[in-house]
Amino acid sequence: MKLLHIDSSVLADNSVSRKLTAKIVAEWQAAHPGTEVDYLDLAVSAPGHLSGEILGARFVPAEGHSALQKQETAYTEALLEQLFAADVIVVGAPMYNFSVPSQLKAWIDRVLQAGRTFRYGANGPEGLAGGKTVIIASTRGGPYSTSDVMRARDHQEAYLKTVFGFIGITDVRIVRAEGLNMGEEAKNAALASAHADIAALHA
């Protein structure tokens, strides 16, 4: 079994999502001995955001690629191979301004490719990267799951479920710690809840 561990928080050792993904991966390996882990730290080595030149490489024969297009196409291909090889994907996804870090969005923009991870058929879009499990370590400063008003502002978990579902991954599990910026008591309760979610992954 292969596991792809992705972190995207820019807070290094102060990141709650990084602590949660580390715990998720460690417990997954304990429950599934022999699991191989591939690590991707998007805060350290984020894909470049799409430009007209980078995106244009998808529509030009390889022999017509510029030096930048050749470099970026090879990098994107490596990300796709990493995704396809994984049986399990653990994603650290803190909420930044109601959505995900731009580094994580840049990775998504690279791996969502027509003809590779999805295609359009007679019945609409079809995911091509199914058969995997995704575990999202979701962290946010406020409580976004407790009311309709706050849920409407959640473009983090809802977005990621849509993204992975679009490429055919329907087994998407959430480990959530929210209300982290609402005092020590609320933070401790959020972490306890997240740890319970992690324990339940193997129950």
Annotated binding site: 9, 15-17, 95-98, 139-142
Annotated binding site for FMN: 9, 15-17, 95-98, 139-142
How many domains are there within the chain?
Answer: 1
Report the mean per-residue pLDDT for the chain. 95
Q: Cα(69)–Cα(62) distance, rounded to whole angstroms? A: 9
Nearest to 55 by CA among 46, 45, 43, 66: 66
Q: How confident is the model at residue 128 (pLDDT cuts 50, 70, 90)?
A: very high
Q: Which residue has the higher pLDDT, 110 or 203?
A: 110
pLDDT of residue 40: 98
Calculate the dihedral angle through the C-alpha atoms of 90, 92, 98, 99, rounding to the nearest 10 degrees: -60
pLDDT of residue 186: 96
| pLDDT for 203 beyond 90 | no
Q: How confident is the model at residue 135 (pLDDT cuts 50, 70, 90)?
A: very high
pLDDT tens, 36-85?
Answer: 999 999 999 989 998 999 999 988 899 999 999 999 999 999 999 999 99
| Mean pLDDT of the 145-164 span | 95
Q: Please answer whether residues 166 and 150 qualify as being in contact, where contact means their C-beta atoms are separated by less than 8 angstroms.
A: no
Q: Which residue has the higher pLDDT, 107 or 202?
A: 107
pLDDT of residue 158: 95
Q: Cα(19)–Cα(133) distance, rounded to whole angstroms? A: 20
What CATH number should be reported for the domain holding residue 147?
3.40.50.360
Q: Cα(185)–Cα(166) distance, rounded to whole angstroms? A: 37
**Percent of the chain at pLDDT exceeding 70:** 100
Range of the structural domain that residue 177 is part of:
2-200
pLDDT of residue 202: 83
pTM of the model: 0.94
pLDDT of residue 85: 98
